[in-house]
Amino acid sequence: MKVAVYPGSFDPITYGHLDIIERAALIFDKVIVAVCINPGKQPLFSLEERVEMISRECAPFSNVEVGSFRGLLSDFVRQRNARAIVRGLRAISDFENEFQMALMNRKLNPAAETIFLVSQPKYSYLSSSIVKEVASLGGDVAGFVSKRVATRLREKFFQTGGEDENGGERSGRFSGVG
Ligand code: PNS
């Protein structure tokens, strides 16, 4: 069975991620979406929230599992008997960092190949960070994340999942900003 790991922060999962997952699931027998627990980063969503959101979004894909790891990705890949690490490439600017990670991961686990899937142009400018910024300012993120994730973002930033004309009530954490 050909198993691939798709690692990331997924804070939160976007349509760009889902596109890579869907395409990887057509190539591999099993894809494990692996949320990295990085003690040096302060994510917006907890590990549990991220795993739950990914699990819901990936429910239609029968060969996709969701997991998490702490420490080295190369160790997690070995533990799960995976042969490939999948990463999405959006633009040339991604390349340098991805190239370095791929080479380091190959050094740490020569049995695993890093496979890059090129993002669809319509998602090439998407990142979790820019989606969070837009959502935090009350912008519409409907084209970038699922309805469920958009609701979770509104809950985080405005303490409500409900909509008003600005896509969220201005009564929460960011009320009064600007
Ligand atoms: O979604 P991201 O933030 O681009 O994902 C980056 C991630 C989690 C894939 C990367 O930081 C990672 O693999 N971290 C695990 C630590 C590790 O193995 N480091 C050494 C090899 S690069």
CATH of the domain at 10: 3.40.50.620
Which residues lie below 8 Å from residue 110, measured CB to CB, with a gap of 6+? none
147 and 88 in a common domain: no
- Among the options 30, 128, 146, 156, which is catalytic? 128
Q: What confidence score (pLDDT) does residue 87 get? A: 98
Task: Say if CB 169 and CB 160 are below 8 A apart.
Answer: yes
93 and 23 in a common domain: yes
42 and 67 in a common domain: yes
Q: What confidence score (pLDDT) does residue 92 get? A: 86
pLDDT in 10s for each residue of the chain, 178 residues: 999 999 999 999 999 999 999 999 999 999 999 999 998 989 999 999 999 999 999 999 999 999 999 999 999 999 999 999 999 999 888 999 999 999 999 999 999 999 999 999 999 999 999 999 999 999 999 999 999 999 999 999 998 766 544 443 333 344 322 2
Closest of 165, 144, 139, 161 to residue 152, by C-alpha: 161
116 and 38 in a common domain: yes
What pTM value is reported for the model?
0.91
In a domain, 171, yes or no: no
- Among the options 41, 93, 107, 147, which is catalytic? 41
| Count of the separate structural domains present in the chain | 2
133 and 88 in a common domain: no
140 and 115 in a common domain: no
Task: Say if CB 131 and CB 18 are below 8 A apart.
Answer: no
**Using one digit for the tens of pLDDT, what is the confidence trace for 127-162?**
999 999 999 999 999 999 999 999 999 999 998 766
Angle at 125 between CA 9 and CA 148, to 5 degrees: 55
Q: Which residue's CA is minimally distant from atom 4 of ligand 1?
A: 8
Residue appearing with tokens 């959101």: 53
In a domain, 111, yes or no: yes
Buried b (16+ CB within 10 A) or exposed e, 29-54: ebbbbbbbeeeeeebbbebeebbebb
22 and 109 in a common domain: yes
- 56 carries an active-site annotation: no
> Which range marks the domain in which residue 15 is found?
3-121
92 and 11 in a common domain: yes
The alpha carbon of 36 and the centre of ligand 1 are apart by a number of angstroms equal to: 7
